Amino acid sequence: MIRVAFFDAKEYDINSFGRLEENPEVEFKFLETKLTEDTAELAKGFDAVCVFVNDTVNAAVIDRLCEYGVRLIALRCAGYNNVDVKSAHGRIRVVHVPAYSPYAVAEHAMALLLTSVRRIHKAYNRTRDFNFSLSGLTGFDLHGKTVGVIGTGKIGRIFIDICRGFGMKVIAYDAFPAKDSGIEYVSREELFAKSDIISLHCPLTDETRHMIGAEAIGRMKKGVVILNTSRGALIDAEALLEGIKARKVGAACLDVYEEEADIFFEDRSGHILNDELLSRLISMPNVIVTSHQAFLTEEALANIAETTVNNILACLAEEGGFCENELCYHCGEIEKCRQEKRRRCQDEGGKK
């Protein structure tokens, strides 16, 4: 029996993983707490930990996990910016769920965009109060507008297809443009200058951190709508607030926020929020915040549970087993190290 300590467990996780419980080879212990340096001890005696976006899996936590004999870190999400994969290399294996429903995230991005530009959030509250006035609800057509998509991977491309369905002109920037994709790639600067709407779908890396800051906002069109369903730290939130106050940014739709780790996913109503910046952003009439909800569909949860269990079995049912979703640092660059060879590239030579 493979024993897995499941950190930051929510009701919807317990439901979706619970449905797979007939699998006799993996047993989950659901823990409400997040994985941090202080809680790592709870992983003692387990073969693996299962973690999500706001668990801390830095070098210190990895040291503890190795000390306790934990052999696998199973991320039940795609992004892995919260894991020090370099520190884990050769000591503890790391797997993730690269795609569970890119449609869920792309559709949420469009839901946020439509809500914002057609003021649905305002109208919903008004009519509930029997206020049927249209004053201040004027929106704009998406048809004919230019959307700039940053990151044209699985989610970005689906979002592009959705936008094309609305009759929008699409331009894109990607550090690794997809060949023969029919996507019109431009430089980042050109994208900032030409887009009426900008949507972020690239990972958080040292290079992309704060890619939307004061300078980038300065290059954008007045009234630009910024969508972020990727990772909070892609945007310098202070610069965004300044852009909104200066009436340069027309609207912002944020499913993620740089400092979300201690705030999102929990009921904070009735508490005073200790984050001035987030409070200011939420108070703006043209900002919509959802709390990292873009992934949350039935289909995505079922896929996450299934892939996570398969990842765990691939790695641990047989010692050193191959797992196609392993984040391998062997070549020094995770993206480069995606093996298509059905075996672990560590097996091919010494460690680097």
* Annotated active-site residue in 64, 96, 231, 330: 231
Catalytic-residue membership of 231: yes
Q: How far is the CB of 10 from ligand NAI (least distance, A)?
A: 13
Catalytic-residue membership of 121: no
Residue nearest ligand NAI by beta-carbon distance: 153
102-117 helix and 154-165 helix, angle to the nearest 10 degrees: 40
Q: Which residues pair with 224 in a beta bridge?
A: 249
Catalytic-residue membership of 93: no
CA 315/CA 140 separation, integer angstroms: 51
Q: How far is the CB of 238 from ligand NAI (least distance, A)?
A: 21
Residues within the interface to ligand NAI (CB under 6 A) = 78-79, 99, 102, 105, 150-156, 173-176, 201-203, 207-208, 229-231, 255-256, 292, 294-295
Closest to ligand NAI by CB, 217 vs 316, is 217
Q: Which tokens hold the place of 92? A: 């503890």
Closest to ligand NAI by CB, 65 vs 78, is 78
Which residues in the chain belong to E strands, given as ranges? 2-6, 26-30, 48-51, 72-75, 93-95, 146-150, 169-173, 197-200, 224-228, 249-254, 287-289
Contacts of 162 (CB under 8 A, 6+ apart): 106, 107, 110
Closest to ligand NAI by CB, 9 vs 70, is 9
Q: How far is the CB of 327 from ligand NAI (least distance, A)?
A: 12
Which residues in 178-259 belong to E strands, given as ranges? 197-200, 224-228, 249-254
Q: How far is the CB of 256 from ligand NAI (least distance, A)?
A: 6
CA 105/CA 119 separation, integer angstroms: 21
Closest to ligand NAI by CB, 2 vs 278, is 278
* Annotated active-site residue in 119, 292, 326, 330: 292
Q: Would you please indicate which residues are annotated as catalytic (active-site) residues?
A: 231, 260, 292
